[in-house]
A and B are shown apart, each in its own frame.
Chain A
Amino acid sequence: AQSVTQPDIHITVSEGASLELRCNYSYGATPYLFWYVQSPGQGLQLLLKYFSGDTLVQGIKGFEAEFKRSQSSFNLRKPSVHWSDAAEYFCAVGARGNTDKLIFGTGTRLQVFP
């Protein structure tokens, strides 16, 4: 069965600084990988996803993520954080095959200081 770990519960950065949020997964093959963002009081919104092909994936709001098979990781990055990026970020893993389960990580809360 697949699983996903987000090691950082809470991260604080200054506005304009770079950001990297970590995501590690466990799965026997290459899974489907996603990053979602949840703004306060809102539902989740998809930032980006990886299925196959180019391991560097571009998403919305200036985010990108890189799939590294050797490290079982799918870290989310942004070169310059804006105050509006303060939110909770979830990595999710979907198994390939005929099941439709999607496993979410426990989330990383991002705080941005001016």
Chain B
Amino acid sequence: EAQVTQNPRYLITVTGKKLTVTCSQNMNHEYMSWYRQDPGLGLRQIYYSMNVEATDKGDVPEGYKVSRKEKRNFPLILESPSPNQTSLYFCASSWGGRTDTQYFGPGTRLTVL
């Protein structure tokens, strides 16, 4: 089954404790992206990647890192999480970028205390 998977689905952590949210797709998509969803703000793009070893900042990249060492994986790293990063995070992938249909993962709800 074609899908985008994220792990973990739920995470509660404390300020400053490094964490990684994994994202994997099995559709051989070139493009992958991370978004955060906050009430009243919709989805905002954090980072995106057009291909392996090619990543770019979205609209809200501060406090986040990403890597794209393999086509299928695009982990989101929070080196020192803060409470303002409490949010719902979505990973998405597509064949050729934002203009192609993006397939979204189920989301990761992160709480930073």
Contacts and interface: CB of A to CB of B under 8 A. Distances in A.
A68 to B, nearest CB: 20
Contact of A32 (B4, B92, B99): B99
B81 interface: no
A90 B42 contact: yes
Q: Interface size class for chain B?
A: 20 to 34
Given A49-B101, A94-B98, A100 B50 contact: yes
A108 to B, nearest CB: 10
Given A43-B107, A104-B35, 7 more contacts: A41-B106, A42-B106, A43-B4, A51-B99, A100-B31, A102-B98, A106-B42
A41 B98 CA distance: 23
A31 B18 CA distance: 38
Interface residues of A, number: 21
B105 A100 contact: no
Nearest to B104: A43
Interface of B: 4, 31, 33, 35, 40-45, 48, 50, 56, 58-59, 90, 92, 97-99, 101-107
Contact of A44 (B40, B41, B48, B90): B90
A4 to B, nearest CB: 8
Nearest to B91: A43
Interface in A55-114: 90, 92, 94, 100-107
Contacts of B103: 43
Contacts of A103: 45, 59
Contacts of B58: 101
A42 B111 CA distance: 18
Given A44-B90, A106-B41, A101 B99 contact: no
Nearest to A94: B98
